[in-house]
Amino acid sequence: MTTGATTLDQLPVLVTGGTGKTGRRVAAGLRARGWPVRIAARSLAPAADAVRFDWADRDGWPAALDGVGAVYVAYAPDLAVPGAVDDITAFAAAARAAGVGRMVMLSGRGEPGAEAAERALAAAGFDWTVLRASWFVQNFTEGLLAEALAAGELALPVGDVPEPFIDADDIAEIAVKALTEDGLGGRILELTGPRSLSFAAAMAEISRLTGRPISYRQIPMADFLAGLQAQGVPDDMRDFLAWLFTTLFDGRNSATTPAVTEVLGRPARDITDRAAAGWP
The string of pLDDT tens digits covering residues 131-167 is: 999 999 999 888 778 888 889 999 999 999 999 999 9
Question: Quick one: pLDDT at residue 146?
Answer: 87
What digits encode the pLDDT tens for the residues 234-268? 998 899 899 999 999 999 999 999 999 999 999 99
- Range 97-121 average pLDDT: 96
Question: Quick one: pLDDT at residue 7?
Answer: 45
Dist CA 275 CA 280 (whole Å): 9
- What backbone torsions phi and psi does residue 156 show, to the nearest 5 degrees? -140, 160
Over pLDDT 90: what percentage of the chain? Answer: 77
Does residue 72 or residue 211 have the better pLDDT?
72
Dist CA 212 CA 242 (whole Å): 29
pTM: 0.93
- Range 75-99 average pLDDT: 95
For 70, the enclosing helix (H) or strand (E) is strand 70-73
What digits encode the pLDDT tens for the residues 171-205? 999 999 999 999 999 999 999 999 999 999 999 98
Question: Quick one: pLDDT at residue 4?
Answer: 44
Q: Residue 1 above 70 pLDDT?
A: no
| pLDDT bucket at 3, cuts 50 / 70 / 90 | very low
| pLDDT bucket at 8, cuts 50 / 70 / 90 | low
Nearest to 215 by CA among 230, 205, 223, 225: 205
Nearest to 195 by CA among 112, 276, 131, 137: 137
The structural domains of the chain, ordered by start, are: 13-136+167-192+254-271 (3.40.50.720)
- Range 266-273 average pLDDT: 93
| pLDDT bucket at 2, cuts 50 / 70 / 90 | very low
Q: Residue 272 above 90 pLDDT?
A: no
